[in-house]
Chains A and B, each alone.
Chain A
């Protein structure tokens, strides 16, 4: 059972929307210790529930639109109230499976009693989300930084949970 699960979410056909998947592909190329599972999650996040509910630590890499400069990265620890708050107000207009988002997926994991104890969201501010397989320069030039950052976060988290001997104090990056 994987202790750490890293999921990149996004549509690689829609420019910067696919940044999560691009980061995951780079991580796979760079290589990670075998207790860290790295998954290209595509866009149907609800179908990731079985994977999510198996993990102790979940790192999500996703495109965000938070009004930051394109390429800017933020890290947010998600706790239960935050997840519940984000997940609400969705059901009324929800007509299609596409609208089941990461918040509701985490809620479903909680309902099963199988939500990872630690959930870290790494969000990358998008520039362009036009139809394209390429990501914009603002993001692509920082790819090494993203990969290093996710890698560090995973290793620190593993250390903190005692899974490996790391001796790092601050897992909250």
Chain B
């Protein structure tokens, strides 16, 4: 056979690069987060039937099609004047489809992306218990390769905890299957669902679907409560220094999500399971005002009118810098947790206080790498519990969809939190077709570059001041960036002050 070297191409989602500069003590003195790919989804949507947006925008991102589909449907609802007319069944089904994706995402993120930063899979191969037989066989065939190489020198879990993490890593693969089965039950298919549309949801709940969903949701809840949360605690106890690493900007914003009341047309005021709003280190809750959001471009490859300009000298990213009240804000699970803690959400308060008690930490410590993992796990539990409740509230005899007329001229906006944070879609319709469409996605907030006032983006801010113990093995940097769950392809560059490249780690083959 002819020898051909092949590589399926790296999927194109918006390449990101994180570049940090160290001083001679190994401390990060500057950090730059750059998006290296221009994306202009409006170019594709312009001139199309507005309803296409809820399908096409799902393809913007391979990891979160469902949140984009949902934000787009809400955006179209508002443009069509039906945002407060979606039938109750439709509202619940949208929650259920998106929440299944949330739970899937959080389990995937912790176990399959992050846990092997902390658990030692190499040591696990030497365990003699029967449970580890598949792993031993796997390793004996030389198939551990995907887990190698890794940053060495900092695997601290004791054997009992290490065993739990590695076994749950494998079990979590099965759990994700259940979450996707759930998604497909009402979303029609996975990974790119077809259920959520403007006006509601296309599928009708039936008793057997409801039951089939319910039992899977219970299993997922049990896994989260009895494996995921305890595992995060195991890691948090062994790596307690990571409560002091990666604090970030200290300001938080969320659009909230999971509508509990479809009657309020304004998404910023609608009653949601996780409330919309902002907070900061003082933990004072402030209501959300969408008009305070702006995007600036001094360090982005755009002219002031938004035209892409890759030659702009002051720029280093295709990501714009969204700010709220002109200030850098972090988005994602930690933002949702702290905003809801501040606003007095009793369930969140209770869950967080139990964990903080067990770890002997205060809320301040939550502004950290470990805090983000804990926030994600608590949220997964709260949402999985809600899933079990919601599915039993579906009524097979009631509609899931409201008919509507397509307007010839209209504007709409959809604002929800995706698993990674604030997601906003907006549309302008002229002559019955899309005249303009824009998206501000979560990683635009967290991965944003410096703004016009010299304020860094949240990931940049979380990196600066970090002590890198071994520049050849910059595990602190990787752990900080991963704790944000960025929705991008990244390369980490570690550069010392003289600008000499110590190490370049690229992901692409």
Contact = CB atoms under 8 A, between A and B. Distances in A.
Interface of A: 9-14, 17, 40-50, 53, 60, 62-66, 68, 74, 76, 80-81, 83-104, 107-108, 110-113, 121, 123, 126, 129, 131-133
A43 B478 CA distance: 23
Contact of B9 (A63, A83, A108): A63
A93 B146 contact: no
A98 B150 contact: no
Interface string B10-32: 11110010100000000000000
B7 A65 contact: yes
Interface stretch (B79-87, B406-414, B485-493): B485-493
B333 to A, nearest CB: 15
11 contacts: A17-B12, A46-B108, A64-B7, A81-B142, A84-B146, A87-B146, A100-B113, A107-B146, A108-B173, A112-B170, A112-B173
A93 B504 CA distance: 9
Nearest to B505: A93
B44 A13 contact: yes
Contact of A74 (B4, B62, B181, B486): B4
Nearest to B62: A43
A94 B507 contact: yes
Interface stretch (B35-43, B211-219, B230-238, B241-249): B35-43
Given A80-B141, A110-B143, A132-B44, A41 B505 contact: no
Contacts of B109: 97
B146 A95 contact: no
B146 A13 contact: no
Contact of B181 (A50, A101, A107): A50
Nearest to A107: B146
A86 B7 contact: yes
Considering the complex of A and B, which 3 residue pairs feature the smallest CB-CB distances, nearest first? A43-B62, A50-B177, A88-B145
B468 to A, nearest CB: 15
A107 B145 contact: yes
B209 interface: no
Given A13-B59, A48-B191, A90-B507, A107 B143 contact: yes
Interface residues of B, number: 67
B138 interface: yes
Contact of A44 (B6, B63, B488, B492): B63
Nearest to B141: A80
A92 B505 contact: yes
Nearest to A48: B191
Contact of B180 (A14, A50, A90, A121): A50
B123 interface: no
Contacts of A65: 7, 9
Contacts of A46: 108, 112
A98 B113 CA distance: 10
B148 interface: yes
B488 A103 contact: no
Contacts of B170: 111-112
A140 to B, nearest CB: 18
Contacts of A92: 149-151, 478, 505, 507
A89 B149 contact: yes
B402 to A, nearest CB: 28
A135 to B, nearest CB: 14
B313 to A, nearest CB: 25
Task: Point out which of A17, A42, A45, A100 has the most chain B C-beta atoms below 10 A from its C-beta.
Answer: A42
Nearest to B179: A50
Contact of B60 (A13, A17, A88): A13
A93 B113 contact: no
B13 A98 contact: yes
B136 to A, nearest CB: 11
A8 B506 CA distance: 26
B135 A97 contact: no
Given A42-B192, A94-B113, A111-B138, A101 B173 contact: no
Interface string B284-304: 000000000000000000000
Task: Point out which of B9, B150, B507 has the most chain A C-beta atoms below 10 A from its C-beta.
Answer: B9
B18 to A, nearest CB: 7
A42 B69 CA distance: 14
Given A47-B190, A66-B5, 9 more contacts: A44-B191, A62-B8, A64-B6, A65-B9, A87-B146, A91-B116, A92-B478, A98-B13, A99-B490
A50 to B, nearest CB: 3
Task: Point out which of B41, B43, B190 has the most chain A C-beta atoms below 10 A from its C-beta.
Answer: B190
Nearest to A81: B142
Nearest to A9: B8
A98 B486 CA distance: 9
B154 to A, nearest CB: 14
Contacts of B372: none
B505 A98 contact: no
A88 B507 CA distance: 10
Contact of A91 (B9, B39, B141, B147): B147
Contacts of A99: 10, 489-490, 507
Task: Point out which of A13, A85, A98, A107 has the most chain B C-beta atoms below 10 A from its C-beta.
Answer: A98
B134 interface: yes
Given A47-B180, A92-B505, A111-B138, A121 B12 contact: no
Task: Point out which of B146, B181, B192, B505 has the most chain A C-beta atoms below 10 A from its C-beta.
Answer: B146
